[in-house]
Structure 1
């Protein structure tokens, strides 16, 4: 009895994963972490509460006067946004550290060996989520402040610029957290760096009469955002403030790509 050999299976060229497929996969992985929804809810809730509290009890008069409170400064008070910055940075760090701690990063890179595309897709998802949270916090906080204060003029200058700069601020912090998470690969270490960079350093480092201290402070995202929102922080021009936030975001993505590409998993 003769056995006929099986005909060889014709294999076509391997299809390359589309950007939409990579973003969809990263979206699923991002929300698969149980801490992610909880962290986002707490971040948004705390930020809105602080905006409402500033509107009720804060001493934030209109610029150059001792009249009624300023809703814009109540909604975009610098110290009230520090927890949101730290929270966004921790979310970005956890997006990378979670994959290293569970070993999922090996499966991801086995499915898609192009590490640059993986990094860009993950950055896109993190940016979209934290940008949406920033929109809710910025617009919602300003609406709460206007409703609580009942000011005849809701803001003193550039409310949309304040909202757009906030939409850029939190993704920038999240992308920086991703970069630190890729470099450190440890939850506690990444959290320490994020808290120090977005929590302690802005409080300790302030624009003063010293040129070096002022330049160092103006290079921080917190002070660039403060210049754009009118929070009373930052002494650079508006164009430099926008460029500072954009440079932090771009540098964070580049560091994430290089660290993931150059280091073994």
Structure 2
């Protein structure tokens, strides 16, 4: 029940919540950052269904509202399987059974009448990994995003990436765990020459260069995704095009990805879809920090 003066009956089956009530019900699903994570039901009809969309692993909150009251239910998702307390929906609490198996999470299940299957999962850490190699949807982007190193403008989120030149593989970095590319390269690739050598080798044309380093930025006001590099990097147009193609192939926004040429020499890279400052920053809120300051892994 979510309203003490009226009646609502909820049932749950196969990722769908069904309700019959004497008042309109609204349902919304949010991620841990308060962003809507899927479909929603507005309070227009006293009976309906809400089906959970496909979700990446993590914590979510389902908010059920009536004209007089509301309730928020915490939902954990592991490998697209939902875990939450059915009793919070006003369903009758039934007998529970605990299933335990070596290498699996111990889990409680409501005992079903008659023959039934109980699905349980191998132990999975809910801590996000150091990196991923594709970004299939907005939820994944939100889980790995951080603030850009140069946060001159409000409303911009960022995921740093590292492109392995020899292996031709891209790594989207957990930007909440690693503030700098150097930290990630040291921890994951065991780069051991130190920060000075890293900056000297990985931003210039030289035989020791093994990485191309940059960021994918999301400008929220225009819903624009850009590929950006440190302005003093010595990348040529062919290298920029190679990385752009790899990002386009491995992200949900690849078809609309723009390269932001933040130095004059890169404006000649006409084979790469690009966006200029006037268009990119139109409508963005400027916050004055250190004008003219360029940031890299120092």
Verify same fold: TM over 0.5.
Answer: no
TM-score (structure 2 length as normaliser): 0.23
Greater RCO between the two (CA within 8 Å, min separation 6)? 1
TM-score (structure 1 length as normaliser): 0.25
Larger helix proportion of the pair? 1
